[in-house]
Structure 1
């Protein structure tokens, strides 16, 4: 997961992950079992379920709404982590990975950038 800016030619420039931050959003299997799960969809999430079928691109103008969705997942961590092999996704590990995503969203919003989870 990274923060990106759109270049004048319409391309994407990924910004460096600052010291003290992480770009880890979870295991590859979490695309289906956590972020794109039926549980997350049932909470009303719109962004995260995209990870079940591909990468997630949050455009700069959508970051504030994405942050609200992160807050929704944070408020429902038991549900988000529920039903997953506890050796792979505990509430604590989901919380830690969500914190990385929240940090990227905060950094993106500060500079008018977007977030990509790939």
Structure 2
């Protein structure tokens, strides 16, 4: 299983509407195991993050008014990506983890920017 990142809007009845992923974009946010191994890891928590660690226990829903803060948290994680990437897995090199996490983080950042453009939110599930 994989985590997906999507943009949502809320209609006049407070119903959540998940938008289609635009052509040329990806909704991949990482492997299911990344809930704890990456996004909810101690390394990410040590950075002072508040959004990503939620994934360790469930899905993350970033409300429209929180997307700016979420993008700042994404930038914080990106600035420390070498520390965030696991280095204890013998099946994959640290450099490969850095590359994969960087790509999935890019997908998350792009979704957050799309959300801002439509006054929407972000969900990772």
TM range (shorter): over 0.9
Find the counterpart in structure 1 of residue 63 from structure 2: 59
TM normalised by structure 2 equals 0.90
User: Where does structure 2 lack aligned partners over 5 or more consecutive residues?
Assistant: none
Q: Are residues 1:100 and 2:107 paired?
A: yes
Select the structure that is richer in strand: 2
Moved over 6 A (4+): none
Find the counterpart in structure 2 of residue 90 from structure 1: 97
Q: Are residues 1:69 and 2:76 paired?
A: no
- Deviation for aligned residue 1:83: 3.5
Change (3 A) 1:84 1:4: farther
* Structure 2 Cα separation of the partners of residues 70 and 40 of structure 1: 11
User: Where does structure 1 lack aligned partners over 5 or more consecutive residues?
Assistant: none
TM normalised by structure 1 equals 0.95
Q: Are residues 1:32 and 2:39 paired?
A: no
